Amino acid sequence: MWQEWNLPELRVMSIQANVNVVKLEPSEDSTFDYWLQVATLEKGYPLRIPVQLAAYHKQVIKDRKLNTSVALHKRQGIWWLTLSFDEEPPLATEVDAERVGVDVGIKNFLTTSHGKTYGSFHGKLARKHKRDRAKRRRKAKMRACLQKKGVPKAQLPSTSSAPSQRLSRQVKQDINRAINEVLKDHPHARIIYEDLSVSSMRFKAKQMNAYLYASQLGHIPDHLAWACARRGQAAHSVNPAYSSQECPRCHYVDRANRPNQQTFCCVVCGFSAPADHKAAGTLASRWGDQELAACRGLEQIKALLMQRHEEGKKNQQRARVPGPPLQLSLWPQPEEFLEQYHA
């Protein structure tokens, strides 16, 4: 049975505008502090609104450069103007501060080089994503069937859903909470995270690609950098290429070093550790590596790591070469006797 759409009701009027629509100009010869210039449909005839600031507002924005974007809110019949400015807190991290590597993943959103994990997409979020994906697939099939029958495009069901949007917001909130916990546990450390590019990550299975998209991994590096800058904590991104396959002991790189998703085991030296924990430690060690940072492309990075592996093997071989036999004695050597005698 057809029913009328439940149209949304505008309860709070809010205008988010940039300098092309609303422009704030300081007053020069007036009793007001600023003039708000609002563009109208008639070119050359803007609307000018006087703005008077309180003493507290003047003290807050003193010697600060205001952003060009403003916000207007109407509350109880009164319009309120919201101004913003950029503030960079001073860097509080010491030069010789401890380095903490942070690895990003789906199972655990964040894993530090200390071995602690924060947040996860598995469990409740994964089950919600599975139900939402099944619902959207059903709606997509229905839409395709109605299209074949010639149903107008305006009457076709939408493939987007409110639960999908709520799930995306919940995932981002869990990620933000995990990042805050990491910074709370390491307030004085230097955070080293991977320069992650989710757009280039692809799986063969469509289900895994949908799982990757729903996990919102691309949100982690941006929010981590923003959260550190807000606290005045140093954060640096490094190239994560082969960080999950490189052995921290001998620098050997091979896919065989990952027998499964959870374990790292080097096929050359036998080094073994949890995969995410090991990757976080590798990221921490890459900060300040100018030689690796200068590499362009995966081939150059792998060649550099294999070169370090070969150099490490040569150094081990030199250390194992036996030297000349040593004469151990509690008595002085003959040369020492002669020196004492001539003295």
pLDDT digits (tens, 9 = 90+) for 98-154: 999 999 988 889 999 999 999 998 888 888 888 888 888 888 888 888 888 888 887
HSE-CB of 2 using CA atoms within 13 angstroms:
2
pLDDT digits (tens, 9 = 90+) for 252-269: 999 999 988 889 999 998
Axis-axis angle for helices 162-185, 124-148 (nearest 10): 150
The residue type at 91: L
Where residue 270 falls (left for φ over 0; alpha for ψ -120 to 50; beta otherwise) is left
From first to last of its 343 residues, the chain has per-residue pLDDT tens of: 566 667 777 777 888 888 888 888 888 877 888 899 999 998 889 998 888 888 898 898 888 888 888 898 888 888 888 888 888 788 888 888 999 999 998 888 999 999 999 999 888 888 888 888 888 888 888 888 888 888 888 778 777 777 888 888 999 999 999 999 999 999 999 999 998 877 777 777 777 788 778 888 889 999 999 999 989 999 999 999 999 999 998 999 999 999 888 899 999 988 999 999 999 999 999 998 999 989 888 899 999 999 999 998 888 777 666 656 555 544 444 444 334 433 4
Residue 43: both structure tokens together: 């070119």
Q: Is 264 exposed, middle or buried (0-12, 13-18, 19+ CB in 10 A)?
A: buried
Radius of gyration (C-alpha) of the chain in whole angstroms: 31
Can you tell me whether residue 35 is helix, strand or coil?
Answer: strand
Give the whole-angstrom CA distance, residue 202 versus residue 196: 13
pLDDT for 338 equals 39
Report yes or no: 144 and 132 within 8 Å, Cβ to Cβ.
Answer: no
pTM of this prediction exceeds 0.85: no
pLDDT over 90 percentage in the chain: 33
